[in-house]
């Protein structure tokens, strides 16, 4: 079991090396990158916006409902919403959700190409199939922090709307709380995490799709396994990065 895991990790790093070998012609790669930006980034904006807005609202309501002591100021609702959304919800939990959305899309599309011999066709033609299939995804996901930036904004906006229009706090109190003790490094920390999660989101599902064997059933199975491993890796890296960047 352990040997299998170590072998898989080694194979994953060999795949990373191969992705950057023998580049595809720029004129072809450019179109592939635009297509991936459309599929992975633009295609995710709707669901990210929806989830962020409503979860931001729920965070604000939950905080308000737990502030039962009249000595605790109401501006804490804005403060708690900002901290939760910027530090954890937007970068980490949206990434776990994207492991399901983007990850299963990547695994199933590459896996289907594997079972229908399209990857063999690329290799036989002399194309570096890993570079052709995975490199554009990595480049497209460099725009992933942009998605997370939108998620942060909409999360806080959702919190403000739920707090104010739900009658839990006033607009001034929420905004004061949202600006209270703001540490700019938290944004740096959040976007740094996001970039690393973007790399994991592009490569782990690709790995599971590229090296899968079997037929249609195995494509579905590979998508599930890929979601589990991408989520586990994101959560593990989240812990390590938080300890390294904020813990010391």
Partner 1 sequence: MIEVKNIEKSFGGIKILKGVSTVFETGKTNLIIGQSGSGKTVMLKSLLGIHTPESGTISFDGRIYSELAPDEKRDLRTEIGMVFQGSALFDSMTVAENVGFPLKMFTKDNNSKIQERVDFVLKRVNLTDAHKKLPSEISGGMQKRVAIARAIVNNPKYLFCDEPNSGLDPNTAILIDNLIKEITEEYNITTVINTHDMNSVMEIGEKILFLKDGLKAWEGTKEEIFRTDNEAVVAFVYSSNLFKKVREAYLKE
Among positions 10, 117, 165, 185, the unique one binding partner 1 when judged by CB under 8 A: 117
Among positions 2, 3, 71, 125, the unique one binding partner 1 when judged by CB under 8 A: 125
Q: Which range in 3-11, 116-124, 155-163, 183-191 contacts partner 1 by CB under 8 A?
A: 116-124
- In this structure, what DSSP letter does residue 143 have? G
CA distance 156 to 56: 6
4 binds partner 1 (CB under 8 A): no
22 binds partner 1 (CB under 8 A): yes
Is the alpha carbon torsion for 49, 50, 53, 59 positive or negative? negative
Name which of 105, 33, 87, 104 is nearest 246 in CA terms.
87
Q: Which is nearer to partner 1, 92 or 131 (CB)?
A: 131
28 binds partner 1 (CB under 8 A): yes
213 binds partner 1 (CB under 8 A): no
Supply 129's token pair. 């199939």
138 contact partners, CB below 8 Å, separation of at least 6: 19, 199, 202, 203
The answer to whether 206 touches 106, Cβ cutoff 8 Å, is yes
Number of residues lying near partner 1 (CB under 8 A): 18
Name which of 230, 45, 41, 49 is nearest 143 in CA terms.
41
Q: Which of residues 56-115 bind partner 1 (CB under 8 A)?
A: 112-113
Among positions 4, 17, 25, 213, the unique one binding partner 1 when judged by CB under 8 A: 25
CA angle 41, 119, 218 (to 5 degrees): 80
Among positions 8, 120, 170, 224, the unique one binding partner 1 when judged by CB under 8 A: 120
Interface contacts to partner 1, rule CB under 8 A: 22, 24-25, 27-28, 112-113, 116-118, 120-121, 123-128
């Amino acid at each position: 079991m352990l040997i299998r895991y170590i072998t898989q990790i080694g194979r994953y790093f060999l795949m990373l090396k191969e992705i950057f070998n023998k580049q595809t012609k720029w004129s072809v790669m450019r179109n592939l990158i635009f297509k991936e930006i459309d599929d992975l980034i633009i295609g995710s904006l709707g669901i990210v916006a929806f989830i962020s807005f409503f979860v931001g609202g729920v965070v604000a309501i939950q905080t308000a409902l737990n502030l039962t002591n009249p000595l605790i100021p109401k501006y804490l609702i804005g403060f708690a919403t900002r901290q939760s959304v910027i530090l954890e919800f937007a970068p980490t939990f949206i990434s776990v959700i994207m492991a399901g959305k983007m990850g299963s899309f990547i695994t199933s599309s590459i896996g289907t190409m594997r079972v229908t011999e399209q990857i063999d066709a690329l290799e036989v033609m002399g194309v570096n199939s890993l570079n052709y299939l995975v490199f554009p995804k990595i480049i497209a996901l460099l725009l992933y922090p942009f998605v997370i930036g939108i998620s942060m904004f909409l999360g806080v906006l959702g919190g403000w709307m739920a707090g104010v229009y739900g009658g839990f706090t006033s607009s001034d109190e929420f905004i004061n709380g949202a600006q209270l003790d703001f540490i700019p490094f938290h944004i740096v920390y959040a976007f740094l995490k996001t970039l690393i999660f973007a790399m994991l989101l592009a490569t782990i599902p690709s790995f599971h799709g590229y090296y899968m064997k079997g037929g249609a059933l195995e494509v579905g199975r590979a998508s599930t396994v890929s979601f589990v491993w991408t989520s586990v890796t994101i959560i593990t890296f989240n812990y390590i990065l938080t300890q390294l960047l904020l813990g010391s």
